[in-house]
Amino acid sequence: MAAVAQTTPLSRILWPALAWTIALIFFFPIFWLVFTSFKTDADAVKPEHLFFFTPTLENYANMTENYDYWRFAINSVITATFATALALVVGVPAAYAMAFDPSRHTKDILVWMLSTKMLPAAAVLYPMTFLTKNMLGLFDTHFLVIVVLCLINLPIVIWMLFTYFKEIPKDIIEAGKMDGVSTWGEIKDILIPLAWGGIASTALLTFIFCWNEAYWTVRLTTIDAATLSKLIEGNRAPEGLFFGRLSAVSTAAVGPIVVLGWFCQKQLVQGLTFGAVK
């Protein structure tokens, strides 16, 4: 009979205390960001106003007055939503094929897809600018941002879905085949209902990645398709301490995604830990 682990009074206090400490360390930057957003730029850098200050909404008022926050926010919603949808539209059939009808090259393809994430983005900045601006005329369009965000995240999407699909017994899919269900029917009527939790987790994570992407969304847009990442980038100032203003813009940019993550944390945790414990 296996020995049952005994919990001592010390460990009952120590582990929760450690967990709380780590959680607070991780949460502190978010807390400080929001906290600073209610300070004036002058108060934000004064030690005497580190914790005690007169809260102000001045930075949020400036944000909507000086910048068209809602235009940036709507662009973020449009690009992140459609890029996620497009990635799933491509990723689900791709992962289905690899999970249930693998060839001898499937593993190589999976590794190759992941290796594309290792390419430094800066290396292709000039060709991307030339291609999208001079040849395709797509610069600063939602379409371009959606396609780029989709392509950036596609390897992760396919890998995650592949991992989920591998957990589904192959016999179920084959039973469908025996009953004469088409490939599309297998995906739509068998696979998606069975793997719905995994697909939702993948979609959520992809949406978060798309929302937070900053390198390409800043560099492939000007006005029309600029997202919240560009709004934050534009508030960084090398000469001038505008930390209150920058904190307000950053809070408003990450706010929607933090709220979304809060409501969907169960699916997110499931997505992030899937396969870790069996």
Sites of contact with another protein (CB under 8 A): 42, 45-47, 66-67, 78, 82, 85-86, 89, 125-126, 129-130, 133-134, 138-143, 146, 188, 218-219, 222-226, 230, 233-242
Copy the structure tokens of residue 267.
Answer: 């699916």
Do you know the residue count of the chain? 278
Residue 215 or 274: the one with the smaller Cβ distance to another protein is: 215
How many whole angstroms separate alpha carbon 240 and alpha carbon 95?
49
Do the beta carbons of residue 31 and residue 248 sit within 8 Å? no
- 110 or 186: whose CB is closer to another protein? 186
> Please, which residue, 26 or 52, has the CB nearer to another protein?
52
| CA Rg value for the chain | 23
Distance between CA atoms of 7 and 11, rounded to whole angstroms? 6
Nearest CB to another protein, comparing residues 9 and 29: 29
Q: Smallest gap, in angstroms, from Cβ of residue 95 to another protein?
A: 16
Instruction: Indicate the residue among 109 and 128 with the shorter CB distance to another protein.
Output: 128
Residue 21 burial (CB count, 10 A): 10
In this structure, are residues 228 and 70 in contact, taking their beta carbons and an 8 Å threshold?
A: no
Q: Which is nearer to another protein, 96 or 268 (CB)?
A: 96
- Whose Cβ is closer to another protein: residue 222's or residue 273's? 222
Question: In angstroms, what is the minimal distance from the CB of 32 to another protein?
Answer: 15
- The CA angle 93-98-103, to the nearest 5 degrees, is 135
Q: With beta carbons less than 8 A apart as the criterion, state whether 132 and 220 touch.
A: yes
How far apart are the C-alpha atoms of 36 and 50, rounded to whole Å? 9
Give the separation between CA 3 and CA 18, rounded to whole angstroms: 25
Shortest Å, Cβ 96 to another protein:
14
Closer of 6 and 54 to another protein (Cβ): 54
Least separation, in Å, of the C-beta of 208 and another protein? 20
Query: Least Å distance between CB 272 and another protein?
Result: 26
Cα 41 to Cα 62: distance, rounded to the nearest angstrom = 12
- Nearest-approach distance from CB 235 to another protein, in angstroms: 6
Least distance in Å: CB of 223 to another protein? 5
Residue 72 CB, shortest distance to another protein, in Å, is 11
Place of tokens 């890029």: 83
- Rounded Cα distance between 127 and 121, Å, is 11
Can you say how many angstroms the Cα of residue 66 is from the centroid of all Cα atoms in its chain? 28
